[in-house]
Amino acid sequence: MKLAVIVTTYNRPDALAAVLEGYLAQSDRDFEVLVADDGSTPDTAELVKQFQARAAFPIHHVWQEDIGFRAAAIRNRALAATQADYIIFTDGDCIPPVDFVARQRKLSEPGCFLSGNRLLLSQSFTEQLLRENIPVHLWGIGDWLRAYRQGHIARLQPLLRLPDIKWLRKLAPKRWQGAKTCNLSAFRDDLLRVNGLDESYTGWGQEDSDLVVRLIRAGVINKSARFSAPVLHLWHKENDRSHLEENKRRLQQVLNATHIRALKGVDQYL
């Protein structure tokens, strides 16, 4: 099965570098990375070139003009740019542990999408990590226990690993709440069937919930990847939420509707 990781980014090359280092170190290297760039300046393109020269797998740079927050659009462009069978959505501030791709592959199952979790890193630790190039993607539980004691993380639970018992991971098959595109994966055919993400949403918020609601409505169930495939989320300032209430109203309209296809989706790029 061909697998692709779509990593969104915007003008944060230091964080993106830490994320790409994590992918270079993956135990499973049979995948490609698409850096989905929402209009960054040329230093991000230069960084991607540097990693392309080092990687044992393809890294592609998919860029769009900077005319505001358009995460749905750049994810759709990246989705259209790959022929991979299975897609992992994540962000350019989410570092993958070394077995992240392998565990995503192991958990993937027809008729399901995977919803994973994240471990939030503190502001001070994030700044130290980026300044000193600390390879947290290689850390073991002893390192994380020490980080917990030092206040770098608030909890250890996201790092715990539970057995991959299918029925246990499908206890909430129609739960859309909490599923985030910082750690979400699905078969490409299922994503195309619902026409990808809906670009009708403007600004930050709710476009990932919209996608999940439509996947579930199309018969693709939520399989939990929690306690198996977490990402390490670097601290950042809160995004501009000026459009959030409008986006919440739009999502409520979708919840009250019956359609499965995005009104403005990936088909425009295919």
Q: Which amino acid is at 250?
A: R
Q: How many CB atoms lie within 10 A of CB 83?
A: 9
Alpha helices in the chain (DSSP H): 13-24, 42-54, 71-80, 100-107, 123-132, 141-149, 166-169, 188-193, 207-217, 244-255
Residue 137's contacts (CB-CB under 8 Å, 6 or more residues apart) are: 21, 22, 25, 95, 96, 97, 98, 232
CA torsion, ordered 17, 11, 126, 21, to nearest 10 deg: -10
Closest CA to 23 of 53, 45, 46, 56: 56
Please tell me the predicted confidence (pLDDT) of residue 243: 67
pLDDT at 239: 65
Q: What is the pLDDT along the chain (270 residues), one digit of tens a residue?
A: 999 999 999 999 999 999 999 999 999 999 999 999 999 999 999 999 999 999 999 999 999 999 988 999 999 999 999 999 999 999 999 999 999 999 999 999 999 999 999 999 999 999 999 999 999 999 999 999 999 999 999 999 999 888 888 899 999 999 999 899 999 999 999 999 999 999 988 777 789 999 999 999 999 999 999 999 999 999 987 766 666 788 888 888 888 889 999 999 999 999
Domains in the chain: boundaries: 3-269
Q: Measured between alpha carbons, how far is 195 from 10 in angstroms, rounded to an integer?
A: 24
Residue 263: CB partners within 8 Å, gap ≥ 6? 198, 200
CATH code, residues 3-269? 3.90.550.10
d(CA 220, CA 25): 31
| CA–CA gap between residue 254 and residue 210 (Å, rounded) | 7
